[in-house]
Structure 1
């Protein structure tokens, strides 16, 4: 089966998203080869793995990620909202997730930034990735084209990807302009023509967020190279590994 399974924020359908518990659950499934995570900066410059700009939805904390130091963030409970079994689960640092995933999962690391929201985010992430010898195991993606340009300026060897969720515009042209070899796109924005064109150009396509077997099969029929990003990698397994 060529349509690779990507665990969205880890196995977020069953574990609290973007936590080490979700990462471990994804790693435990042998057919999960990729994982998507989100990275922001704490006030004191530590790359932390969390999706929302606010702490309110997925932790027992309040306020913006950028306004809290790492020592404050790491003390928060990021698991209880998902269930009693995950009480005490923490917001992990990118360093922790890289260490756990190294040699086990490739990572699509979304740089959650816009404009000048997180000065130094790209530099901090790249330094961590390179310090662990994981340059070939990651792709750095973002909605923010300026952030992707910064990545290329800092280290042209790092693979970059554009996140695209617009009904307008030409993602294929934008990828060429940005020298990106990866497209992260909402599954309902993807069509056979675009998929075939990008595959011909050796651009990897990741479709998100696909949690129904019917949609997984539709994407697989569209093109065998489309990576399927899902909160439910178990459904991917039931769909494509049927005996």
Structure 2
């Protein structure tokens, strides 16, 4: 049986528009889910907003890049219609709005959508919103970018940090130590049981992304009970959590297509 914790990727993004309050509210309906993962960037006037892409076309129906628009301009965009007409009018939330929504209910993995040569001040702006709500123990700030993590470490050494990677670099241990990371966020296809065990035994949490198939969730869960599973479909994770153990793989294939 799967016992691993679930992280709802951009909220319940398999059903609701990603990184919106609607997706967070839907994730919260599954009481067993206690983590979400979100993406944060800065508007041109310095407000942290919750959106993944650097450009606005895919999820907001706008044009250009996020950092060239004020918060007022971003708030006029429709962040829900692309997913379904039922979500038409859903807005890009600020980080503050999202934290207010989930405070006391969910812990938040905040990915700093930074580039090495841009978004100076993103970490400081995010940490300000977290501190205003006294949520330092309820968040972890993550990034692919070393500089962003070092900025977090310098500004708020008590706030947890996590390194995101999509491969297994030879200097992984050095990267984790340099940034003081207590979480490794890694593409699920890049792990095996020995690797996961070796990282967790060093006192570092491991989260794999993004896993939407029940069979794969169970395969990953068998590697280590403390491995965190990030998914667009927390409903499928819940199903995997509650299903009795089935050892015959062929039987899975006959009745479980995902």
TM-score by length of 1: 0.97
- SS of the equivalent of 1:80 reads coil
Deviation at 1:25, TM superposition (A): 0.2
Distance 1:72 1:78 in 2: 13
Uncovered stretches (5+) of structure 1, i.e. residues with no partner: none
Is residue 167 of structure 2 the alignment partner of residue 166 of structure 1? Answer: yes
Q: Greater CA deviation, 50-59 or 194-203?
A: 194-203
2:141 aligns with 140
SS in 2 for 1:236: helix
1:77 paired residue number: 78
Distance in 2, Cα, partners of 1:44 & 1:11: 29
Q: Deviations over 1:105-159 (max 9, x none)?
A: 0000000001231111010000110110100000000000111000010111110
Q: Is the 8 A contact 1:4 1:32 kept in 2?
A: yes
* Structure 2: stretches of 5+ with no match in the other structure: 245-258
**Cα offset for 1:194?**
1.8
CA distances 1:46-81 after superposition (whole Å, capped 9, x unpaired) = 000000000000012111000000000011000000
Report what 2:14 is aligned to: 13
For the Cα contact (< 8 Å) 1:164–1:171, is it kept in 2?
no
Larger CA Rg, structure 1 vs 2: 2
Aligned residues: 243
Shift of residue 192, structure 1, vs aligned partner? 1.4
Name the CA distance, whole Å, in 1 between partners of 2:169 and 2:162. Answer: 18
Is 2:52 the partner of 1:51? yes
SS in 2 for 1:14: coil
The Cα of 1:170 is off from its aligned counterpart by 3.7
Give 1:100's aligned residue.
101
Q: SS at 1:48's partner residue? A: strand
The answer for the alignment partner of 1:22 in structure 2 is: 23
Does the residue aligned with 1:195 lie in a helix, a strand or coil? helix
Match in the other structure for 1:33: 34
Paired with 2:162 and 2:194, the residues of 1 have a C-alpha distance of: 19
Match of 2:233 in 1: 232
* Alpha-carbon distance in structure 2 between the residues aligned to 1:236 and 1:46: 33
| Aligned mates of 2:173, 2:83 — CA distance in 1 | 38
CA contact (8 A) 1:9 1:37 kept: yes
2:114 corresponds to 1:123: no
Distance 2:206 2:169 in 1: 18
Q: 3-state SS of the aligned residue for 1:7?
A: strand
Root-mean-square deviation (Å): 1.1
Q: Taking structure 2 as the reference length, what is the TM-score of the superposition?
A: 0.92
Q: Residues 3 and 241 of structure 2 are in contact (CA less than 8 Å); yes or no, is this contact kept in structure 1?
A: no
Spell out structure 1 runs of 4+ moving beyond 4 A.
none
The Cα offsets for residues 174-225 of structure 1, whole Å up to 9 and x where unpaired, read as: 2122210001100001121221112112211110000000110011001111
